[in-house]
Structure 1
Amino acid sequence: MTFTEPVRKYILSGVVAFVVIGLIVANVMASKQDKTFETNENLYNQALQLQKDGNYEDAREAISKVLKAEPNSEIANYLAGIIAVNKGDVKQGANYMQKTLDLNPYKVEDPVFMIQLGEIFVVSERYEDAKIVLQRCQESGWAPEEIPNYQEHVATLLTQIENSQ
């Protein structure tokens, strides 16, 4: 089967038009995605700053907007957990922290996250979960620089769990 010169031109024109239209559509979609990402990043940074300043109510509102747009964001769920605990809603904080761990199972290798998770589980009276987390901390032998008495604190929390049951 042979193609005549006009048929070849039509085929080439069609392929070029298809590629150009595809690039235009991709560019438009990417710019919308960039705007969404930028908005969520700004809200997250605002929530983080508000949390650092102790304004937990406004921080909760900002992080809620981020979570509405990105419910499976590990970092947003982590911050939401910290904010919820600071507001006094420990059970909700525990749920956010659990979701953070579910989204990124490798967080079990982060000693700071694990001690925070253990503390939140203890305060929210999820003793079995707290015991598992704190035993993991104890067995790991972690001693992060930012928490010099890490292992002593883990032992204290485990004792607190034993006394509560």
Structure 2
Amino acid sequence: MNISEKTRKYILLGLVVFILGGLLIANVLASKQNETFQTEDFLYQQAIQFYQAGNYDEAQKLIADLVAEKANSEMVNYLAGLNAASLGEYSAAAIYMQKALDINPHNVEAPMFMLQFGEILFSAERYDDAKIVLERCKEWNWQPEDYPEYQEQVQGMLTQIENMK
């Protein structure tokens, strides 16, 4: 089969147009995705600032928007859990923390995450679950320099759980 020179030019031109069109579409989609990311990042940073400043109600408004947009984000669920606990909504906080753990099971190896999760479960009166988490914390025998009371707090909650039975 013999392809004429004119046909080869049209094929080459078609490929060039196809590639340039694809690059243009990718650029447009990427810029929209970048705008979405920047907006979500701004909301997340604002929520963290409100949380750290102790303005939990304002943080909750932003977190609700983030959870609606990024329900499968470990960090969003973690922040939502901490903020809900600060508002005294321990059952909701436990759900958010469990979801953060489900998204990233490696958090089971993070001592501070597990302590916070144990405290939230304890405050939500889910004592059996709290005992499991706190016993995991006790197994590590971890003593961080910035939180030397870690093991005492773990043992204190475990003692309270045992005294309730």
Q: TM-score of the superposition, structure 2-length normalised?
A: 0.96
In the other structure, the counterpart of 2:163 is 163
Instruction: Give the match's secondary structure for 1:125.
Output: coil
Report the number of matched residues. Answer: 165
RMSD: 0.9
Tell me which amino acid in the other structure corresponds to 1:114. Answer: M
Instruction: In structure 2, give the amino acid aligned to 1:108.
Output: V
Taking the aligned partners of 1:145 and 1:78, their CA distance within structure 2 comes to 23
CA separation in 2, counterparts of 1:70 and 1:36?
11
Structure 2: 5+ residue runs without aligned partners?
Answer: none
Provide the secondary structure at the position in 2 that maps to 1:68. Answer: helix
In structure 2, distance between residues paired with 1:41 and 1:110: 24
Query: In the alignment, which residue of structure 2 is the partner of 1:107?
Result: 107
Q: CA deviation digits over 1:12-32, x for unaligned, max 9?
A: 111111110110111011111
Q: Give 1:30's aligned amino acid.
A: A
Equivalence for 1:95: 95
Alignment partners' CA distance in 2, 1:163 and 1:16: 76
**Does 2:127 correspond to 1:141?**
no
| 1:5 aligned partner | 5
1:49-79 CA distance string (max 9 Å, x none): 1111111111000111111111111111111
Which residue identity is paired with 1:68? A
- Where does residue 39 of structure 1 map in the other structure? 39
Q: Indicate if the aligned counterparts of 1:50 and 1:58 stay in contact, CA closer than 8 A.
A: yes
Mapped partners of 1:16, 1:106: distance in 2: 47
How far does residue 131 in structure 1 lie from its aligned partner after superposition?
1.2
TM-score normalised by structure 1 residue count: 0.96
Instruction: Indicate whether 1:52 and 2:52 are aligned.
Output: yes
Runs of 4+ in 1 over 4 A off after TM superposition: none
* Structure 2 CA distance for aligned equivalents of residues 20 and 164 of structure 1: 70
Deviations 1:74-95 (A, max 9, x none): 1111111111011111110111
Structure 2 letter corresponding to 1:159: T
Alignment of 1:28 with 2:28, yes or no, is: yes
Aligned partners of 2:136 and 2:2: how far apart in 1? Answer: 71
CA distance in 2, matches of 1:140, 1:81: 23
Report if the CA contact (8 A) 1:81-1:93 is conserved. Answer: yes
1:90-127 Cα deviation digits (max 9, x unpaired): 11011101101001000111111110000000110111
Percent identity between the aligned chains? 52
Q: Distance in 2 between matches of 1:129 and 1:3?
A: 74
- 8 Å Cα contact 1:107-1:114 kept in structure 2: yes
